């Protein structure tokens, strides 16, 4: 049940969050709430601060001794949303906002992929206001060399798929779950996906597409935070909101997400191209697009 926080405390918390934001601190971690402790912890980076509430749920003041005997629910939702504020959210130009995310990523060493032979970070490419976004798994050798997603053989097929939809690659935005090449093109580990995907979520919140197409199981499972087979995942739309971040546009409250086969899989098993084309047609219908006459994704 949502807990209504005392307005004064909420104000104080919001002010504290703004203060940290102004110092460039945007990531907050909540200490697990241990039962019987009347505290609302707000942890900032390495440092943790606890604000004593001394309030009952009905808002009555309590003695400090009594307060420690009551388990305090976690901070209410709108404060949590404030906590999720990211630096790019104060910027209206999506090109600038994406630059901020890229700068935040820096020369990333957050997961092991940085020391497993990556040449460069492959951030994402395309129209920063695209209606349609494609998300793959992670860069391969060509992408690692060129610094751009989907430029190898799988990329050529993705380009053909995009063309078959009657649009150009430049009109969409393309990114991956992980931004560094996994050695030997292995599947990225769950930990690597979890570490890297918050940056993708932020990119999605900036681009604000109408539809995201997850290419393959890794992209689908990570974006949807669910474990299912491709057979179960395909063939329908999901309501999608990028996890842990909000767009600065109050009119964008998430988008549709569709799942289709990864182009690399389609190269290995071209018989499935027809199925992928069905997925893309579903997307086109959602976006009100018509394929050019006589085109297909072969």
Least separation in angstroms between residue 269's CB and ligand URA is 16
From 94, 124, 138, 182, residue interacting with ligand URA (rule: CB under 6 A) = 138
Query: What φ, ψ does residue 84 adopt, rounded to 5°?
Result: -80, 5
Stretch that binds ligand URA, among 46-54, 78-86, 135-143, 204-212 (CB under 6 A): 135-143
Q: Which is nearer to ligand URA, 176 or 203 (CB)?
A: 176
The reply to whether 209 sits near ligand URA by the rule CB under 6 A is: no
The reply to whether 137 sits near ligand URA by the rule CB under 6 A is: yes
Stretch that binds ligand URA, among 36-44, 149-157, 274-282, 290-298 (CB under 6 A): 149-157
The reply to whether 94 sits near ligand URA by the rule CB under 6 A is: no
Stretch that binds ligand URA, among 48-56, 91-99, 142-150, 190-198 (CB under 6 A): 142-150
From 20, 28, 150, 261, residue interacting with ligand URA (rule: CB under 6 A) = 150
How many chain residues touch ligand URA (CB under 6 A)? Answer: 13
Least separation in angstroms between residue 262's CB and ligand URA is 6
Q: Which is nearer to ligand URA, 127 or 176 (CB)?
A: 176
Q: Which is nearer to ligand URA, 61 or 267 (CB)?
A: 267
Q: Which is nearer to ligand URA, 56 or 185 (CB)?
A: 185
Question: What does the alpha-carbon distance between residue 70 and residue 31 come to, in Å, rounded to a whole number?
Answer: 17
Q: Using CB under 6 A, which residues numbered 238 to 297 contact ligand URA?
A: 264
The residue ranges that bind ligand URA (CB under 6 A) are 136-140, 143, 149-150, 152, 154-155, 176, 264
């Amino acid at each position: 049940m949502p807990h209504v926080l005392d307005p004064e405390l909420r104000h104080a918390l919001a002010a504290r969050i703004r203060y940290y934001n102004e110092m460039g601190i945007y990531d907050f971690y909540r200490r697990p709430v241990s039962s019987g402790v009347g505290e609302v912890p707000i942890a900032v980076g390495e440092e943790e601060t606890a604000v004593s509430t001394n309030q009952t749920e009905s808002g009555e003041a309590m003695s400090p001794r009594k307060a420690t005997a009551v388990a305090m629910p976690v901070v209410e939702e709108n404060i949590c949303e404030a906590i999720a504020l990211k630096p790019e959210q104060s910027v209206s130009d999506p090109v600038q906002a994406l630059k901020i995310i890229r700068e935040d990523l820096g020369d990333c060493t957050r997961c092991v992929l940085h020391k497993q032979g990556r040449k460069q970070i492959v951030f994402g490419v395309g129209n920063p206001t695209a209606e349609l976004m494609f998300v793959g798994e992670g860069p391969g050798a060509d992408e690692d060399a060129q610094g751009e997603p989907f430029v190898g053989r799988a990329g050529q097929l993705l380009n053909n798929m995009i063309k078959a939809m009657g649009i150009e690659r430049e009109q969409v935005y393309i990114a991956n779950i992980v931004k560094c090449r996994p050695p030997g093109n292995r599947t990225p580990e769950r930990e690597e996906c979890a570490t890297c995907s918050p940056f993708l979520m932020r990119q999605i919140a900036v681009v604000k597409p109408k539809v995201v197409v997850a290419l393959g199981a890794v992209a689908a499972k990570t974006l949807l935070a669910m474990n299912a087979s491709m057979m179960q995942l395909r063939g329908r739309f999901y309501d999608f909101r990028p996890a842990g971040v909000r767009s600065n546009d109050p009119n964008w409250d998430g988008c549709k997400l569709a799942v289709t086969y990864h182009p690399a899989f389609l190269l290995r098993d071209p018989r499935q191209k027809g199925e992928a084309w069905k997925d893309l047609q579903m997307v086109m219908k959602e976006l009100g697009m018509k394929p050019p006459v006589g085109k297909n994704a072969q």
